[in-house]
Amino acid sequence: MVGPRPLTPDAGGDPACWANRVCPECGAFSADGYHRHGCPVAAGSEGMVASIEAVKADITELAVDAVVNAANSALAMGGGVDGAIHRAAGVRDLTAACAALGGCATGDAKATPGFALPARWIIHAVGPVWHGGDHGEAELLASCYRRSVEVADEIGARSVAFPAISTGVYGFPGDLAAEIAVGTLQDLETSVERVLLVAFDDHTLDRYQRLLRHPGPR
């Protein structure tokens, strides 16, 4: 990726302090926490995601660079995968880091450290609530996957694990959600090299595996 790239905050650091940092690579001052001065780390290599795999797992146990959370727009701890991620990361630390982000729009994503998780980062993506399909739900879900990968590029994450965003409490039909996840991820230009699509049950795993065996047109 050519363009601004965020300085990497220390995992466990105070998100409010991520700006106003000196670039560790070239020593330049960055008022907003982004490289804008052409230092070498600004130029990563981009292509398609090299590997997209489906796994059945508890996402909180995966040792990837970043796990994606199926969050709500307040970034307040909820149930499902969000609750599991909060408990495994440490409720106090993650709640404070999320509060400092000031919420997140549906279809968008924002990162915090992973705290006690094996993953270094958590990318909080806010999926749409399913209202029948005529309210832009498909586009908003695609946007979650796209924005999560853009955020992964910004923080330098090369391996990213996604839960089946919106398919639990938010009621998005699983088949359509899986098609959107796979189709969107297969089309992105990114420095992310490895994506794990994490299923929490056999049915979801089977869906992903079928789609990955028979990829749609690019």
Q: Cite the active site residues.
A: 82
> Is position 148 an interface residue for ligand AR6 (rule: CB under 6 A)?
no
The three-class DSSP label of residue 55 is: strand
174-186 and 137-155 helices, crossing angle to 10°? 40
Binding ligand AR6 (rule: CB under 6 A), the pick from 44, 78, 90, 103 is 78
Judged by CB under 6 A, does residue 81 bind ligand AR6? yes
Report how far residue 132's alpha carbon sits from residue 136's, in angstroms, rounded to the nearest whole number.
10
Which residues lie below 8 Å from residue 218, measured CB to CB, with a gap of 6+?
186, 187
Decide if residue 70 touches ligand AR6 (CB under 6 A).
Answer: yes
Which stretches of 31-90 are DSSP H helices?
80-89
Q: Please, what is the angle between helix 202-213 and helix 174-186, to 10°?
A: 40
- Of the pair 33, 127, the CB lying nearest ligand AR6 is at 127
Q: Which stretch binds ligand AR6 (CB under 6 A): 44-52, 70-78, 132-140, 149-157?
A: 70-78
Question: For residues 166 and 70, is the Cβ–Cβ distance under 8 A?
Answer: yes
Nearest to ligand AR6 of 16, 76 (CB atom): 76
200: contact with ligand AR6 by CB under 6 A: yes
Assess 176 for contact with ligand AR6 (CB under 6 A): no
Q: Tell me which of 30, 143, 166, 191 binds ligand AR6, using CB under 6 A.
A: 166
| Binding interface with ligand AR6 (CB under 6 A) | 58-60, 70-72, 78-82, 84, 127, 163-170, 198, 200, 204
